[in-house]
Structure formats: C-alpha cells, structure tokens
Amino acid sequence: MLIFFIVLLLGFALYAFAPHVPPVPRKVESVTELEAYLNQLTASGNPPGLSVVVVKDGEIVYNNAFGLADGPRKIKATPETIYHWWSMTKIPTAIAIMQLQEQGKLSLDDEVTKHLPWFEVNYPASNSPAITIRHLLQHTSGLPNPVPAMIGWVHYDEVTPNQTNVLKKYLPEFNTVKFEPGSKAVYGNLNYMVLGAVIEAVSGQTYEEYVVEHILNLLGMDQTNFVYTPEMSMHEAAGSIPLVHFFTPLLPTLLDTNALVRERDGKLLWMNRVYIEATPSTGLIGSAPDAAKLMMAYLNRGTLNGQLILSPESIATLTNTPPISGRGLGWAVGESDDEAYLEHGGGGPGFATTMRLYPEHAMGIVVLANGTDLNREGIAEMLFNLFSKQ
C-alpha cells in the first residue's frame, strides 16, 4: 500500500511539472479563433513560441508568430524569428540532388559507389541490389537510422565539418543494410548523410556551400543558413525541453548537459546554441518567411521571382513518384479528408517543425517552434481547413 501511495504521489508531481498542451481543434472558423488557440498553445510552454506562414497562389496569405522566442530573456517570437529546421533540411538536399541530375552530373538510378567508391556496406545477401541515389531519396536503401546516437553528434562552435568526412567517420557503425534495397521504405537520416557526400563528390563544393549558392541565395533566403549569421543572431530563438519529458532522461547519456542546457526556468530547460554535425539531414536554421519562399518556388514549377531552382520536370518527379510505405522522393506523401499533401517535419533538441504542401490547391504551410513537441498533423490540418476556403 505504501508503494502505491508513493507511486501515486510521484505521478501527481510529474503531472504538476509537465506542460499541459491544449488539444488542437479540428477546425477554426476565423483567424481570430486560430490566434486564440495558438496563444493558448504557447502559453502552455510546449512549445513556448512558434511562427506560422501560409502561402497560396504564389503569395504569403498569413504570417504571424506567438509566444516567446526566449522565455527567461522575455523575447517575444516574431515572424522573423530564427529556428532550427532539423529534418526539414532534407527537402533542400533533395532539390540539390535533382539540380545535379539536371546538370548531367548524376542520375537518380546511379549506384552510390559510382560517386563514392569507398562506400562499403553489408547487404542482406550476395545478390542484393546495390543502393542507388533514388533509394536514398526515398528511404528505401535499408540503411539503419542512427538515432538516438545521432543526437550526440553535436558541436557548439560555428565550424561546420566536411560532410564526406562525417559520413566516413560514422558509416562503419551503421553499415549493415537491414532489408533489400527498394523493397520498402523506412525513414533514416543516414540516407541523407550519404546524399550530402554525393553532392560534395559531384559538385566540387562542400554540401553547405552548394545549398547556399544554388538554392538559398537564388531564392533570396538570406535569413537561412547552416550557421547563425550576425543578422540571424538578432532574431534567434532558444530551444527548450520540458523538465518532465521522456527525452530528458536521455540527455546525460547522449549529450554534455552542462554545455547544452543554458538554464532552467520553471517547467522548461532552455538550451544554448547547438549544431548537429550531419547537416544534409538536419542542418538548416532559418525563418518561416524564408521557408515560404522555398514553398512558393516549389509550387510555382521551380521558379520564384524569375529565379529557376528546379525544372518543372524535376518538380514533377519529386511530386508524383509513387510512394513506397508513404515515402516519395524527399517528401512524405499523405492524404487527409481526400486532400493529398506532401510533407516533411523536423524534430531534435529544442525545436519542432513542419512543412506541408497541397499542390492541387497551390498552398503551403510551415510551422516552426522552439519546443520539443508539436502536433504537426493537427496544426497543419487546422490551417489548411481555414485558409483553403479563403
């Protein structure tokens, strides 16, 4: 009986210290109702702040922010606030691969070893098909996902490691292919780490240099990069982790918490600036309006303000390749209430994000938050239901 009461008291204590997130309404009837909910959500502390952009028919139709970019320092989130994108980075990586195919420097059906002769993995059988670039894009390679180990691959300075060297460093730990390439799709960050090395091999640039020059600069995404520029630092959001969360006990085993955690403020741990070494899968940092430029270019057959980043044919390939286990090329492919969409979320220490496109409606949604959790699907559907009718 005593043990029961101790467990009960512990449960009450954990409940008291955990954030209590309000459920996402299925529909809101107006912007006023939308903003009332998002203010309530950020007041819960998980996330403490977020920025939202909606694009439709080539224009930004909604751009706002809620809550706090940095709670202890009383800095409000604004439309210009900068967040880690985490795995949303995979979409620019996929675009870079398609650009290089257009340039004739690779083909989606090339074996990886054509461009990375040192790429050695253990296949399930001697006659297994070799991993191709297409397999990597669609998460059908069979390579394992290096999470949670990848959470520990962090650094705190502005020096971005060479991605080919990063892959060579970690590949031997994760080089056993789990299933026959092409037979199914299982999401994994290692796929895009390999793509980053391929981009370096065929372009002659570092992965980061290539993406900045051939995607970000062309689209005028000057508030997005792989490191914080001085201008970006002026709008930086601090990441946060709930004090009571399933992720919190992992911190001491995976990370130097003295370096990661800046301070505790009530129910939240606030983080110092941190970078993940594997940039092709997780590395971009930027604002919601910059993500809007990427979405508008994609929805406009690869062009924004006269700048072509990808041909209409390449956009069609990324959009229309039949999904395997819900995975297309780059994108996750889904449907809700008979509405088809393309989506990529992101999540990692301190931040949660999502980007969703409805190509048939020429509409895109991005939500960037500085909390560990985010009901991506619910918020995206709420925004679609409101703005698709306007």
User: What is the residue-level pLDDT of the chain in tens, covering all 390 positions?
Assistant: 545 344 333 334 444 455 679 999 988 999 999 999 999 999 999 999 999 999 999 999 999 999 999 999 999 999 999 999 999 999 999 999 999 999 999 999 999 999 999 999 999 999 999 999 999 999 999 999 998 888 889 999 999 999 999 999 999 999 999 999 999 999 999 999 999 999 999 999 999 999 999 999 999 999 999 999 999 999 999 999 998 876 677 677 667 778 889 999 999 999 999 999 999 999 999 999 999 999 999 999 999 999 999 999 999 999 999 999 999 999 999 999 899 999 999 998 899 999 999 999 999 999 999 998 999 999 999 999 999 988
Distance CA 91, CA 280 (A): 9
Fold classification of 22-387 is Beta-lactamase (3.40.710)
pLDDT number for residue 220: 98
The domain segmentation of the chain, as residue ranges, is 22-387
pLDDT number for residue 12: 40
In this prediction the pTM is 0.94
If residue 242 lies in a helix (H) or strand (E), which one and from where to where? strand 240-242
Distance CA 166, CA 137 (A): 19
Q: Is 322 helix (H, G, I), strand (E, B) or coil?
A: coil
**Phi-psi bin for 292: left (phi > 0), alpha (psi -120 to 50), beta?**
alpha
